[in-house]
Amino acid sequence: MRTLGVPGRSAAVLLAGAFGVFSPLSALAQTSSTANEPWTPPPVNVGATPNDGGGHQTQFPYTQKTKCVTRDLDNNIVPREKPWGQQYLRIEEAQKLAVASRGSAGGGMRIAVIDTGVTQHPYFRFGVESGGDYVNPPDNGLQDCDGHGTEVAGIIAANTPPDIGFKGVAPDAKIVSIRQSSQDYGPPDQQAGGGGQSGGDNGGSREQGQGAGNTQTLAEAVVRAANLGVNVINMSVDNCRPADGTINSGEQQLQAAIHYAVDVKDVVVVAAAGNTSQTCKQNDQPDPNKPQSIVSPPWFADDVLSVAAIDESGGVAQFSVHGPWVSVAAPGTKITSLDPSTGSSALANQVVENGQLQDIQGTSFASPYVAGLAALVRAQFPKLNAHQVMHRIEATAQHPGAPGGRDDYIGYGVINPVAALTAVVPSEEGIPPATAERLPSGLPPAAYKNWTPMIVALVGTGGGLLVLLVTLFVVHTIRRNRTA
List, for residues 408-439, the tens digit of each pLDDT value.
Answer: 999 999 999 999 999 998 888 888 877 777 77
Nearest CA to 182 out of 111, 114, 228 is that of 114
Q: Is the predicted pLDDT of residue 482 greater than 70, yes or no?
A: no
Phi, psi of 425 (to 5 degrees): -100, 115
Distances (CA, A) of 288 to 197, 283, 324, 395, 416: 33, 7, 7, 22, 26
Q: How far apart are CA 407 and CA 260, in angstroms?
A: 28
Give the rounded distance of the alpha carbon of 391 from its chain centre: 14
pLDDT tens for 153-205 read: 999 999 999 999 999 999 999 999 999 999 999 887 765 544 333 222 222 23
Is 482 inside any structural domain?
A: no
Report if residue 476 sits inside a domain.
Answer: no
Task: Give the neighbor-by-neighbor strand order of the sheet with 328-331.
Answer: 128-133, 174-179, 110-115, 232-235, 268-272, 305-310, 328-331
* Per-residue pLDDT at 152: 97
* 422 is a domain residue: yes
The identity of residue 288, as a single letter, is P
Based on the number of CB atoms within 10 Å of its own CB, is 226 exposed (0-12), middle (13-18) or buried (19 or more)?
buried
- Helix spans in 183-247 (H): 215-227
Is residue 35 pLDDT above 50, yes or no?
no
Arithmetic mean of pLDDT, 40-59:
91
Report the domain count for the chain. 1
What is the pTM for the complete model shown? Answer: 0.82
List Cβ neighbours of 358 (8 Å cut-off, separation of 6 or more): 17, 350, 351, 352
Q: What integer is the mean pLDDT of 249-259?
A: 96
Tens-place pLDDT, residues 307-328: 999 999 999 999 999 999 999 9
Q: How many residues are recorded in the chain?
A: 484
| Average pLDDT score over the chain | 84
Q: Comparing C-alpha atoms, which of 232, 85, 105 is closest to residue 160?
A: 105
pLDDT digits (tens, 9 = 90+) for 196-235: 332 222 222 333 346 888 999 999 999 999 999 999 999 9
Model confidence at 363, pLDDT cuts 50, 70, 90, reads very high
For residue 1, is it within any domain?
no
pLDDT at res. 76: 59
Q: Which of 238, 219, 400 is nearest to 319 (CA)?
A: 238
User: Percentage of the chain with pLDDT > 90?
Assistant: 61
Whether residue 455 is contained in a domain is answered as: no
Q: According to the model, what pLDDT value does residue 199 have?
A: 24
What is the share, in percent, of the chain residues with pLDDT greater than 70?
84
What residue type is assigned to position 124 of the chain?
Answer: F
Q: How far apart (Å, rounded) are the C-alpha atoms in residues 262 and 108?
A: 19
| Residue 4 belongs to a domain | no
Q: From the CA atom positions of the chain, what is the Rg in Å?
A: 32
Q: Which domain holds residue 95?
A: 13-429
Q: Which active-site residues does the annotation give? A: 115, 148, 364
Q: Say if residues 104 and 172 touch (Cβ distance below 8 Å).
A: yes
DSSP 59-71: SS--EE-SPPP-B
CA pair distance 327, 397, nearest whole angstrom: 10
First to last CA, the chain: 131
Q: Is the pLDDT of residue 17 over 70?
A: no
The pLDDT of residue 231: 98
Alpha-carbon distance of 424 to 342, in angstroms, equals 44
Check if the beta carbon of residue 168 is closer than 8 Å to that of residue 157.
yes
Please tell me the distance from the alpha carbon of residue 391 to that of residue 259, in angstroms, as a whole number: 16
pLDDT at 141 over 70: yes
Q: Any idea which of 146-150, 216-220, 294-298, 454-458 has the lowest mean pLDDT? A: 454-458
> 52: domain CATH number?
3.40.50.200
pLDDT of residue 409: 95
Cα separation, 264 vs 34, in Å, equals 26
Is 443 inside a domain boundary?
no
Say if 458 falls within a structural domain: no
